[in-house]
């Protein structure tokens, strides 16, 4: 493994070592083509194979039916904040938003530019430290769609169940927990995720969309921003992000080798438990997030009294011992350990043990 650190970055984030090694092996000569995936036409047979493998890999892992298209787009999850209302908003039918943090706020800003909206729930007054309960959700049966974020990367909350929105399509930003556990895709109208946390490198955004919803789009929407065009062209309307798609295909292969998403979920729960136990068993650290809603992907914690000086020292010393990327998001401060699928259990154990030592010295 050489000098690789334990990488707790929130994204772009750690990738599975076997994926990086396979990419390294195939870098100069992809399957006898005499060139890398970066150098070949996106309309060539070998690349067709790469694209098909990424598509099939996601379909197998998530049990995606033929009613849905799997798209590989650019522009990040942030582009989806605008693209979703551009394609799915129907005049006079406000979008319902379950507002749970900074990333739904970004989505709201785009929705408000293009459509009308209302809150199905608004967790801002509680500083996003918990998720709404089913009985707190107030849905409009006549909404164009419902927008939610399945895992709030910055605040460290994660949905353990998904709301039943009836006939109204549910749209989920799954950027920071896609492929971390099984999901019943048939409950959603659209799922999107920037790949750079759990699914691959930055540069490709995965969109899973129920095909009939793509028909809603108006002719005034620019071509590149229409899901319908990308569906008709199998993500090849223009040059797609070829290399990131290739890495996604390797990540899906790696997940299948592990035993799929159920196996991955168990590993993620075990890893998260190690850290939450380390936080909860002492008064030195605390986790501000409501217990039931704590994320298995982004473990947010602080040192008692929100001691920023000590937190800065924690980050500095942790980095020196090979534990990288533990700074909380710039908007909230504190500490955050992002432990996506590819983060090894050894990294989590090393962090828990570092936390104990740090407390001994400074507690
Ligand atoms: N949604 C969530 C939940 C995120 O965590 C992020 C990025 N951290 C985004 C959206 C924005 O993604 P991108 O940078 O790909 O636009």
User: Cβ(175) to ligand 1 under 6 A?
Assistant: yes
Give the number of residues written for the chain: 363
Say yes or no: CB of residue 293 within 6 Å of ligand 1: no
Q: What is the position in ligand 1's atom list of the atom closest to the CA of 174?
A: 3
Which residue, among 205, 212, 245, has the nearest Cα to 228 in the 3D structure? 212
Q: pTM higher than 0.85, yes or no?
A: yes
Find out whether the beta carbon of 297 lies less than 6 Å from any atom of ligand 1: no
Instruction: Determine whether the shortest distance from the Cβ of 44 to ligand 1 is under 6 A.
Output: no
Per-residue model confidence as pLDDT tens digits over 240-268: 999 999 999 999 999 999 999 999 999 99
Q: Which positions are catalytic?
A: 103, 173, 197
Is the beta carbon of 76 within 6 A of some atom in ligand 1?
Answer: yes
Ligand 1 mean position, distance from CA 319 (Å): 24
**In terms of DSSP bridges, do strands 190-194 and 205-210 run parallel, antiparallel, or are they unpaired?**
antiparallel
Tell me the per-residue pLDDT of 169-187, one tens digit each, with 9 for 90 and over. Answer: 999 999 999 999 999 999 9
Q: How far is the CA of 102 from the centre of ligand 1 (A)?
A: 10
Cα-to-centroid distance, 360 and ligand 1 (Å): 36
| Cα Rg of the chain, angstroms | 21
DSSP 20-35: HHHHHHTSSSGGGSSS
Tell me the CA–centroid distance for residue 77 and ligand 1, in Å: 5
Which bin fits 260, alpha (ψ -120 to 50), beta or left (φ > 0)? left
Give the residue, out of 72, 111, 157, 175, with the most ligand 1 atoms within 8 A of its beta carbon, to mutate for a pocket test. 175
74 in contact with ligand 1, CB cutoff 6 A: no
pLDDT tens profile 275-333: 999 999 999 999 999 999 999 999 999 999 999 999 999 999 999 999 999 999 988 89
């Amino acid at each position: 493994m050489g000098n690789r650190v334990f990488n707790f970055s929130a994204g772009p984030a750690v990738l599975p070592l076997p994926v990086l090694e396979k990419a390294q092996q195939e870098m100069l000569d992809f399957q006898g083509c005499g060139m890398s995936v970066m150098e070949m036409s996106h309309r060539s047979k070998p690349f067709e194979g790469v694209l098909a493998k990424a598509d099939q890999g996601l379909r197998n892992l998530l049990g995606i039916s033929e009613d849905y298209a799997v798209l590989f787009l650019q522009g990040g999850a942030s582009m989806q904040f605008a693209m979703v209302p551009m394609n799915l908003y129907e005049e006079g039918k406000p979008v319902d938003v379950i507002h749970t943090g900074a990333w739904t706020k970004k989505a709201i800003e785009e929705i408000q530019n293009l459509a009308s909206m209302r809150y199905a729930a608004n967790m801002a007054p509680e500083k996003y430290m918990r998720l709404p309960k089913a009985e707190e959700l107030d849905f409009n049966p006549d909404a164009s769609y419902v927008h939610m974020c399945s895992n709030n990367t910055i605040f460290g909350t994660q949905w353990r169940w998904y709301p039943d929105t009836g006939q109204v399509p549910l749209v989920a930003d799954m950027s920071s927990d896609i492929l971390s556990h099984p999901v019943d895709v048939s409950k959603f109208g659209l799922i999107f995720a920037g790949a750079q946390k759990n699914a691959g490198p930055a540069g490709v955004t995965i969109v899973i969309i129920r095909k009939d919803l793509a028909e809603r789009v108006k002719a005034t929407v620019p071509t590149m921003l229409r899901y319908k065009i990308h569906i008709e062209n199998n993500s090849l309307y223009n040059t797609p992000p070829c290399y990131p798609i290739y890495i996604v295909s390797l990540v899906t292969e790696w997940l299948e080798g592990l035993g799929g998403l159920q196996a991955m979920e168990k590993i993620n729960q075990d890893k998260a438990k190690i850290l939450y136990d380390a936080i909860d068993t002492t008064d030195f650290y605390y986790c501000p997030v409501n217990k039931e809603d704590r994320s298995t992907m982004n473990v947010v914690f602080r040192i008692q009294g929100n001691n920023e000086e000590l937190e800065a020292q924690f980050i500095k010393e942790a980095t020196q011992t090979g534990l990288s990327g533990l700074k909380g998001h710039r908007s909230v401060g504190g500490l955050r350990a992002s432990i996506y699928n590819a983060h090894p259990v050894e990294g989590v154990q090393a962090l828990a043990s570092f936390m104990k030592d740090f407390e001994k010295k400074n507690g």
